[in-house]
Amino acid sequence: VVEASIPEHLRATWKKYSATGFEHKEEFEQEFVRHIETTLARSLYNCDDLAAYYGTALAFRDRLIIEWNKTQQRQTLLDQKRVYYLSLEFLMGRALDNAMLNVGKKDTAREGLEDLGFRIEDVVNQEHDAALGNGGLGRLAACFLDSMATLNYPAWGYGLRYRYGIFKQEIVDGYQVEIPDYWLDFNPWEFPRHDITVDIQFYGQSVRHEDEDGRVTYNWQGGEIVQAVAYDVPIPGYGTTTTNNLRLWSSKASSGEFDFQKFNAGEYESAVSDQQRAETISAVLYPNDNLDRGKELRLKQQYFWCAASLYDIVRRFKKTNRAWLEFPDQVAIQLNDTHPTLAIVELQRILVDQEGLEWDEAWKIVVGTFGYTNHTVLPEALEKWSVPLMEHLLPRHLQIIYDINLFFLQDVEKKFPDDRDLLARVSIIEESRPKMVRMAYLAIIGSHKVNGVAELHSDLIKTTIFKDFVNIYGPDKFTNVTNGITPRRWLHQANPRLSKLIASKLGGYDFLTDLTLLDGIEHFVDDKEFRKEWAEIKTENKKRLAKHIKDTTGYTVNPTALFDVQVKRIHEYKRQQLNIFGVIHRYLKIKSMTPEERKKLVPRVSIFGGKAAPGYWMAKTIIHLINKVGQVVNNDSDIGDLLKVIFIEDYNVSKAEIIVPASDISEHISTAGTEASGTSNMKFVLNGGLIIGTCDGANIEITREITESNIFLFGNLAEDVENLRETHRYKGFTLDEDLAKVFESIRSGTFGDANAFESLIASITDHGDYYLVSDDFKSYIQTQELVDEDFQKQDEWIAKSISSVARMGFFSTDRVIDEYAESIWNVEPLVVE
């Protein structure tokens, strides 16, 4: 890292020319044209929407980086405690619209672009999503960055700069096909820092050394070196100049690595392939959600990123010349799930092996520094790494893990003598073949706080997967921080009309930074004019989505129909199969109705979207079924507008911004106890959509806030799930009559090749129905009938919609971040003048 500053007496000249961002329309236009003509080397004869997007993005990027610089200088000067959010995923979506709104210059840009012949909407739509995440976990990290900057916390995100984000999904003949998402052609939002590099070691061996006094030290030697290069992404807060940093690491062969011996020996190709191997580390985001696969490259990614980030954090701390004991007073590191757990081991290694601290002293610092957030109770998602793999790749780290485990188990034994079972249960090392390192246990032991992401979830981790640890540490180590969403992106940006209407009633946009102010709109629930405008906005948003559906699928949907939406990753526990079985049930029912009966029906558009992990066969089968049902239903002239089934291809953040504001009802129907929180449920309600859902995750707290009369709850409770599963296993069950008819129609080939869907049906009828689809089917159907009834009473429906939005104040990530800051990080916002 190069550190050189301009001598004091020359700084005046420098400061005279210090960059400033544009303020007015004319200055924006000037910046825009300059970037088009110089940075892009294009001209007014050669400037399409894409070029206009780059020009606009670069003009805003310059503004951001100026504030970024000031923010970083301020943070260094004031030297307060900082937060580091370690996440393997940041699902950012598009940056331009967000940047324009956060710095308050969207109108300036709109006018400027108009002067030059562009429509701002077209320009914004050119941007490729930054899709460095799978789903909820990655999007949560992105919302956190927005809130941390908005609230002026000195906070950095650390992640990987994947060359390929989550794959693009295409639907071919009803099947999902995955296309690589190469998104880095030209990314105006990142600043490569070729001067900020860290050498990361892999493989080799741990060498023991004993000095004359008998002091034993270990040294990690040999192996190979890969270089981490920093790329910085500025994160602007809303309504503040604070611009925080997201640092993403990219891998390349270390400068020493290029093997000149090989090169000289004429093995040029093999030297190049070594180089490429180094670059693979940050090449691709693993596309699994809630499934752990244990691939070596994934472990390499994890260590690469943890080691680079910690080196950076420690370097920054050392510049302050403080004593090591003060480290936890200056640094809080939050682990977004177990993926960065190696950071715990790495910090212990740095302190003991490199800085020469005593083990206990170092360990106290480590535990004081880290917090761990759990996002799942699904056993198949809990990370474990095989001991032989760990030993091969990170020999010294494995030793340290064994030592951490030894000291931990000794403590446990002191507290609970003679409980051998307990020791085996809580050991970081699972005594299987091969032995496995249980990352969640390591994360718990190495952190001072562990949190779940919604009340039910936090209770569940305490009573199930981490029960023993609650006994060992006491309940205070475990806490809940219910998730949220940023209202800037998920209301103001995605639904500008609704945001404007709310602002007109509340006398301004303060609710965007204090979402509890939304309760002020409850006064207008009975205001006829307000209701009318509210309903009109929903219709406009539905028309926008209808247009998107027409453009992308060719199907015409009626914007006055009830839009029923389920968009999220496709997973059996999220139960898109329950939804599509319900759709088939509806279809069969309509088919059997007289024209008179049909007249009373509420037309419905069932909208699905979401990706399946490429290797998750059952999830892909569900996508296939949805698409086949769509083909049949949508082309059945007998059905017309009464039912349409749409699968929106390649669901991502920017599509969510169109879909969420357009829903009348959305589905959050996971088997109770399986969805840790869910966050799209919050987005839909905040945009005036009602929800149908199970008593799971954050649905429960949403219900508490908006009251039971504003939500359609159904299905079994989490506390009964275990028993129901047992019953299935040992007693079998009788299939609900209506569900049996649905299966019959599939099996008779109504939706094409019946064989294709046999495994899906059999998972319910023959293999225990683990996700309790059959148990919840009846109450799901009945509740959907209630939805139909209520939708017909439009006036009441709108009233429900308004009072729900009014009561969503709790679900802002601003509240969430303040809770983390207070109860886990112990950090204060930085005062900005």
Going from the C-alpha of 512 to that of each of 516, 522, 718, the distances in angstroms are: 9, 17, 34
Cis bond before residue 236 (omega within 30° of 0): no
Of 91, 659, 676, 764, the one binding ligand F58 by CB under 6 A:
676
Residue among 98 and 290 whose Cβ is closer to ligand F58: 290
- Name which of 336, 280, 330, 421 is nearest 78 in CA terms: 330
Identity at 343, one-letter amino acid code: A
In this structure, are residues 739 and 581 in contact, taking their beta carbons and an 8 Å threshold?
Answer: yes
- Name which of 243, 252, 279 is nearest 157 in CA terms: 243
Residue among 412 and 567 whose Cβ is closer to ligand F58: 567
DSSP annotation of 820 = H
Residue among 405 and 671 whose Cβ is closer to ligand F58: 671
List the interface residues with ligand F58, window 169-198 (CB under 6 A): none
Smallest separation (angstroms) from ligand F58 to the CB of 129: 16
Question: Which residue of the set 110, 568, 571, 604 is catalytic?
Answer: 568
The first and second tokens of residue 655, run together, are 């599509």
Going from the C-alpha of 355 to that of each of 323, 348, 349, 466, 580, the distances in angstroms are: 12, 10, 9, 33, 59
Give CA–CA dist 188/232, Å, rounded.
11
Smallest separation (angstroms) from ligand F58 to the CB of 408: 25
Question: Which residue of the set 569, 571, 668, 728 is catalytic?
Answer: 569
The first and second tokens of residue 216, run together, are 């034993």
Identity at 190, one-letter amino acid code: E
Question: Could you give the maximum distance between any two Cα atoms of the chain, in Å?
Answer: 97
Mask: binding to ligand F58, 286-325, rule CB under 6 A, as x and -?
Answer: --xxx-----------------------------------
Torsion of the alpha carbons at 284, 285, 288 and 291, rounded to the nearest 10: 100
- Residue 376 contacts ligand F58 per CB under 6 A: yes
Of 341, 541, 679, 763, the one binding ligand F58 by CB under 6 A:
679
Residue among 141 and 565 whose Cβ is closer to ligand F58: 141
Residue among 373 and 763 whose Cβ is closer to ligand F58: 373
Q: Is 42 a catalytic residue?
A: no
- Residue 236 contacts ligand F58 per CB under 6 A: no
Question: Which residue of the set 300, 571, 644, 683 is catalytic?
Answer: 683
Q: What is residue 244's three-state secondary structure?
A: strand
Of 678, 688, 715, 809, the one binding ligand F58 by CB under 6 A:
678
Smallest separation (angstroms) from ligand F58 to the CB of 452: 9
Q: What is residue 370's three-state secondary structure?
A: strand
Stretch that binds ligand F58, among 164-172, 201-209, 458-466, 674-682 (CB under 6 A): 674-682
- Residue 482 contacts ligand F58 per CB under 6 A: no
- Residue 575 contacts ligand F58 per CB under 6 A: no
Query: How far apart are the two ends of the chain, measured CA to CA in Å?
Result: 31
- Residue 829 contacts ligand F58 per CB under 6 A: no
Give CA–CA dist 797/808, Å, rounded.
17
- Residue 134 contacts ligand F58 per CB under 6 A: yes
Mask: binding to ligand F58, 380-419, rule CB under 6 A, as x and -?
Answer: -x--------------------------------------
Of 55, 135, 673, 688, the one binding ligand F58 by CB under 6 A:
135
Q: Which DSSP helix (H) or strand (E) runs through 804?
A: helix 794-806
Of 59, 140, 344, 557, the one binding ligand F58 by CB under 6 A:
140
CA angle 539–543–547, rounded 5-degree value: 170
Which residues, including other chains, have CB under 8 Å from residue 670's CB and lie 6 or more apart? 573, 574, 575, 678, 694, 696, 697
Residue among 309 and 677 whose Cβ is closer to ligand F58: 677
Alpha-carbon radius of gyration of the chain: 28
Smallest separation (angstroms) from ligand F58 to the CB of 674: 8
Q: Is 569 a catalytic residue?
A: yes
Name the β-bridge partners of 131: 91
- Residue 137 contacts ligand F58 per CB under 6 A: yes
- Name which of 334, 381, 373 is nearest 479 in CA terms: 373
- Residue 693 contacts ligand F58 per CB under 6 A: no
Q: Is 679 a catalytic residue?
A: yes
The first and second tokens of residue 621, run together, are 């089968």
The first and second tokens of residue 355, run together, are 């800085």
Residue 58 phi/psi, 5-degree rounding, is: -70, -35
Q: Which residue is nearest to ligand F58 (CB)?
A: 136
- Residue 483 contacts ligand F58 per CB under 6 A: yes
Give CA–CA dist 822/813, Å, rounded.
14
Give CA–CA dist 118/29, Å, rounded.
12
Residue among 301 and 679 whose Cβ is closer to ligand F58: 679
- Name which of 259, 371, 165, 252 is nearest 824 in CA terms: 371
Smallest separation (angstroms) from ligand F58 to the CB of 149: 19
Residue among 674 and 716 whose Cβ is closer to ligand F58: 674
Of 21, 93, 112, 136, the one binding ligand F58 by CB under 6 A:
136
Stretch that binds ligand F58, among 342-350, 396-404, 550-558, 673-681 (CB under 6 A): 673-681
- Residue 667 contacts ligand F58 per CB under 6 A: no
User: Judged by CB under 6 A, how many residues of this single chain contact ligand F58?
Assistant: 19
Q: Is 568 a catalytic residue?
A: yes
- Residue 453 contacts ligand F58 per CB under 6 A: yes
Question: Which residue of the set 339, 488, 574, 585 is catalytic?
Answer: 574
Using CB under 6 A as the criterion, which residues of the chain lie in contact with ligand F58 when the complex forms? 134-137, 140, 288-290, 375-376, 381, 453, 483, 675-679, 697
Residues classed as catalytic: 375, 568-569, 574, 679, 683
